Structure 1
Amino acid sequence: MKRTQRIAFGILISLGICRAALAEDDIKIGGLLETSGFIASLGQPALEGAQLAVDQVNAAGGIKGRKVSLVNVNTESDNTKSVSALKRLTTQENVVAIIGPSSSGSNFAIADAVERAKVPMIGIGATRGIVMPTDRRKYVFLVPLTDVVVEGVMLKDMKKRGITKIAMLHSDVAFGTSASDSLEKLVKDEGITLVDNESFGNGDTDMTPQLTKIRGTDAQATVIWATGPGLAIATRNYRALGIKGPLYLTHAANDFNFLRLAGDSANGVLLPSSKIYVANELPDSDPQKKVLTSFSAAYQAKYGHLPATFAGNGYDAAMLLMDAIRTAGDKPDAIRNAVENVKDYVGVTARYTYGPQDHFGTRAESVEMLTVEQGKFKLAH
């Protein structure tokens, strides 16, 4: 090899080493967000929100001069693929923390593996059981409004309206069954009777039989708890049957995709929700208002459309993890400890306070009851 060739080769090798060193110096956060499959309408906005958070931190100089990279593996709304994706992130990508999937079922599927890997994960599944019991879920946290929190707010709204008897229809996946279990316990504390509790298959295309049975009871209101197309189908079936009384929906209904699929049937529903769609209606004294309006403006500037509530979940998860890294360093155990010690963090979806016995984080004051008027979310009165 000629001397000039040796020099050129050496320069290329040096550049490669420098690039590798720079890449290795990045702080890598993993994502398990579903951009295809059944839960893609939740996972895609969550990924967009998380990426926005990372971009903002990097634009401000990163974390103590180090850039943050988000490595997302599309789990395709599949529990088995979620397990494989988690293994890739922890053993090949060597991420220091993870933003978990939107599907409650996928969060349940990987929770034990997260504990074995000892890498902190903030999941976006909205089922409280994902982090229970906390002595066996030390590395798993949540950012969405969880089923127990929103059901509590929903039941108080029912009491305010004089409702004492209700019926429920829920999907048979983890998100629906967990909410059913918790509602059956919570109604007793509020003096409300659950007179009927029906379920349907997550892939069912007609819930008329179950809703016909509910129509035959003395329920004064009905609760439907599901995600994806099934929620919209059940809502349309409910309206087609002419069932009287208020229709309450899960917080998963605070989604533009639900409005599109349910059409006019969505008008008049009641649902517990984050404040993202009604930020301009909030009083200036609400600590989330400024955060919400700033986030919404930045999101629209980046993606060209309004953020769904799930985008706020992804954004909050990423910001909480990056704040923990800024405070405690990039070792997974230190990140876990820092997240567990978060107190009154004001996010997009909620205000968060965690603790050794509380990996749910969200507080009831983060929830508003919404309704739908002419295809748009509004504060309920």
Structure 2
Amino acid sequence: MNIRIPGAALAAALALAFPLHAHAQVKVGVVVSATGPTALVGIPQKNTVPLLPTQAGGQNIEYITLDDASDPTQTVTAFKKLITEARVDALIGPTGSPNSMSVLQFAAESGTPMLAPVGAASVVLPMTEQKKWAFKTTQNTEIIAQALVQDMVARGIKTVGFIGFADAYGDDWYQVFSRMAKDKGLNLTVVERYQRTDSSVTGQALKLLAAKPDAILVAGTGGAAALPQATLAQQGYKGRFYQTHGAALPAFLKFAGKSAEGTILAASLMLVLPEIPDSNPSKPIAQDYIQRYEAKYGEKPATFGANVYDAGLLLQHAIPVALKSARPGTPEFRRALRDALEQTHELVATQGVYTMSPEDHSGFDQRGRELITVKDGAWTLLK
């Protein structure tokens, strides 16, 4: 069962919805940004929920899906309601990195495992008492940045400009990339920031252009990742563009237009699945997800939907383990579920292979990324 509710009606809908339904044997709350500035990321995540596993360990799984309208305040409201009124056993979401940071304390205080389909590694790193309840279904910044820096060095790039979101996602990327760049002898000449909701970055782009870096890294997500790149191209920048895995969706190609050509990013194999060898263990799982999504919605999913799909696979794998210790709907079950997630070992999913540990709640290694470029307006493996 899924309840899709626009952000403005959230509180009223929750009050009506929860008393009408008996507690499922396993209950999972899902919070996505299906409307608002992050909707290009949140819509495929919302659409993925009906494709998630409905049984695990002989128990039914019920999903309650809420839209936070890309607003961290509404994210907090949704999380609190799901925890206190729906009494969910686990949480998937929210969509944005700032939204995820805003609800870590509530997942921890209630002892509810949270699987965040977001980019910022700060959701799970450095590990703290709060963050031990959070898991992440995207590649940590370190893994993606490492691939980009290696490519820059191989191409003889010496100077790099950086422009990223002025939030947790941009902060995380700046901290990781600036450290890696320094270690590899890259000179970070200029750093600029912008908001997810900005419609113009002309001022920031002019400063980047004046610095004349060999390459520019844009740390944004969704369609907003295209804005700095398109602006710089219009102003005459001729250097190399790099993007993070936050740009890995069709909307980036659409909004960036011709400026996207030659862009380099590291992201999951789903972007270039036809080019991936059949021997890759994730390929059949990704193909099955894409086919099911396409059959239901008439279009292929963005990779961000796969982040939620993998969260479902992780729970499906962990629930039977947790059921050995406690019954759903209890604090003991939620703790056992958290422990089972942390013990995930070599779980093959759509984007790579997950192996969690007390220190690593993302679980990806280099099998969870591919170096990709844009050629003739389409994603292709960088060879």
Query: What is the TM-score of this pair, normalised by structure 2?
Result: 0.88
Identity percentage of aligned residues = 30
1:102 matches 2:95: yes
CA distance in 1, matches of 2:180, 2:141: 11
The equivalent residue for 1:335 is 337
Correspondences of 1:23-38 after superposition (within 5 Å): 23-38=22-37
SS of the residue corresponding to residue 141 of structure 1 reads strand
Note the C-alpha offset of 1:218: 4.5
Is 2:40–2:223's contact at 8 Å kept on the other side of the alignment? no
Is residue 244 of structure 1 aligned with residue 238 of structure 2?
A: yes
Code of the aligned partner of 1:377: W
Counterpart of 1:366 in structure 2: which amino acid? G
Matched-pair contact (CA < 8 Å) for 1:38–1:228: no
| SS of corresponding position for 2:62 | strand
Deviates more, 1:23-32 or 1:171-180: 23-32
CA distance in 2, matches of 1:287, 1:95: 32
Shift of 1:295: 1.8
Q: Could you list the runs of 4 or more consecutive aligned residues of structure 1 that deviate by over 6 angstroms after TM superposition?
A: none
Structure having the higher Rg: 1
Check conservation: 1:291, 1:348, Cα contact below 8 A: yes
What residue in structure 1 maps to residue 79 of structure 2?
Answer: 86
* One-letter identity of the residue aligned with 2:78: A
> In structure 1, which of residues 180, 184, 201 is the aligned counterpart of residue 178 of structure 2?
184
What CA distance in whole angstroms lies between the structure 1 residues aligned with 2:259 and 2:372? Answer: 15
Deviates more, 1:301-310 or 1:291-300: 291-300
Amino acid across the alignment from 1:30: G
Q: Say whether residues 1:45 and 2:44 are aligned partners.
A: yes
| Structure 1 equivalent of residue 347 of structure 2 | 345
For residues 126 and 25 of structure 2, the distance between their equivalents in structure 1, rounded to whole angstroms, comes to: 33
SS of the residue aligned with 1:47? helix
Partners in 1 of 2:258 and 2:382 — Cα distance? 17
Q: Secondary structure at the match of 2:132?
A: coil
1:377 aligns with 2:376: no
Tell me if structure 2 keeps the 8 A contact 1:222–1:248.
yes
Cross-structure match for 1:5: none
Distance 1:135 1:201 in 2: 28
CA distance, structure 2, for counterparts of residue 145 and residue 165 of structure 1: 26
Tell whether the 8 Å contact from 1:29 to 1:71 is kept in structure 2 after alignment. yes
Structure-1 residue corresponding to 2:216:
222
Partner letter of residue 311 of structure 1? G
Distance in 2, matches of 1:97 and 1:216, equals 49
- CA distance 1:208–1:21, shift in 2 (3 Å): closer
Paired residue secondary structure (2:190): strand
Which piece of structure 1 moves more, 351-360 or 43-52? Answer: 43-52
More deviation, 85-94/360-369: 360-369
Are positions 1:75 and 2:107 aligned together? no
| 1:237-269 per-position Cα deviation (integer Å, ceiling 9, x unaligned) | 111122122100121111112222222222221
1:255 maps to 2:254: no
Q: The residue matched to 1:293 in structure 2 has which SS? A: helix
Matched with 2:286 is 292
Structure 2 gaps of 5+ residues are: 1-18
The CA deviation at 1:308 is 0.7
What are the residue-to-residue correspondences of 1:13-32 with 2, within 5 Å?
23-32=22-31
What SS does the corresponding residue of 1:38 show, helix, strand or coil? coil
Query: 1: CA distance between counterparts of 2:24 and 2:92?
Result: 20
**Counterpart AA for 1:186:** M
What displacement does 1:230 show?
3.0
Aligned residues: CA RMSD: 1.8
Once the 2 structures are TM-superposed, how far is the Cα of residue 126 of structure 1 from its aligned partner?
Answer: 0.8
User: Does structure 2 retain, via aligned residues, the 8 Å contact 1:128–1:146?
Assistant: yes
Kept in 2, the 8 Å contact 1:272–1:368? The answer is yes
Match of 2:4 in 1: none
Number of residue pairs matched by the alignment: 356
Q: Which moved more, 1:95-104 or 1:226-235?
A: 226-235
Deviates more, 1:366-375 or 1:112-121: 366-375
| C-alpha displacement of 1:145 | 1.7
Gaps of 5+ in 1: 1-19
Is contact 1:104-1:126 (8 Å) kept?
A: yes
